[in-house]
Amino acid sequence: MITRADFAATDIQVKDAVIQAFDHLKKVSPDYVLFLADGEYKPEYKNSNLRLSPYVIDSREDRYKDETRLKFFIKFMQTFYGFPNGMEATTDDEFRLHEELMVYTHIWESKPSLRKMYRFASLCNGENYKWALEVPEMGKHEFIRSDIRDKFRAENLSIADIISKGFHTSLRNAFAHSEYSIDMHNQLVHLDTYKGNNSWDIKNISFDDWSLRFCYSALLSYHLLNEFQSRRASLVNHFGTDTFQIVHPIHERKFRVVSIEYHSEHDSFRFKRP
């Protein structure tokens, strides 16, 4: 269970942390626009007969793959966390809890989402844009904690704390493998993956603690996507131009500066013709 007041406070906390991170990214990274332009490496283009560059912008494959999941996610949050008719708190409904576990798993297992978060964190940390990026099949807990959260933390960005408050590898692991049970009598979610070998491993989580972790994760996912899209849409107004320069790879060790254009009417980026 979470109260309307606690949900509202959490929402503000998460939104402020996401905006702070985007502001930091814009300040420190020359690849700010490239990040918003969704630069991606497509290995299938490398040896294409069409002689296409594998380094593309405005890659929409991840967006299309995730489209229906995101529609479900937004509808779910509107339905159960809209607090209609003066509701002051959510109810601990067993059906909703199962759906929340699924949504939570989607958030922390989604490769498109994790790729975006990795690039976001690494750019905030002063690294170059990583065009070719593979999210590991195994060991996602280290990828999330070390390659994402800790890079935000190194820059003293509050989004690192939001990730810690939402993500827990015991929860992700148990839910991803359906090794959990819901105890309505004791208001607990039991995790069958518990081994007791690590200090961070947890045996169960109360409904109230679960609700808070779920809300931190769900709101982080929502505000990251919403702020990303908002920053894209405001690029022309903010910079006073629709043309931007990026460092574009010719191959793995050679680069050139090229111009790209943002077309606000179609929400699309294109390489600018010479």
Kindly report, residue by residue over 39-75, the tens digit of the pLDDT: 999 988 887 776 788 999 998 888 887 888 888 998 9
Give the pLDDT of residue 180: 95
Give the pLDDT of residue 36: 97
Kindly report, residue by residue over 118-133, the tens digit of the pLDDT: 999 999 999 999 999 9
**Could you give the percent of the chain with pLDDT greater than 90?**
73
Point out the least confidently predicted range of 26-40, 71-85, 201-215: 71-85
Q: What is the mean pLDDT of residues 15-32?
A: 98
Give the pLDDT of residue 245: 96
Kindly report, residue by residue over 207-240, the tens digit of the pLDDT: 999 999 999 999 999 999 999 999 999 999 999 9
Burial class (CB in 10 A: 0-12, 13-18, 19+), 242: middle
| Tally: H helices and E strands in the chain | 11, 8
Residue 94 has pLDDT above 80, yes or no: yes
In the block, which residue shows the tokens 């069409």?
Answer: 50
Please enumerate in sequence order all residues whose Cβ is within 8 A of that of 204, keeping only pairs 6 or more positions apart, or say none.
183, 188, 189, 190, 191, 194
Task: With CA atoms as reference, report the closest residue to 124 among 13, 235, 210, 18.
Answer: 18
**Could you give the percent of the chain with pLDDT greater than 70?**
100
Q: What is the mean pLDDT of residues 232-258?
A: 93
Distance CA 111, CA 86 (A): 37
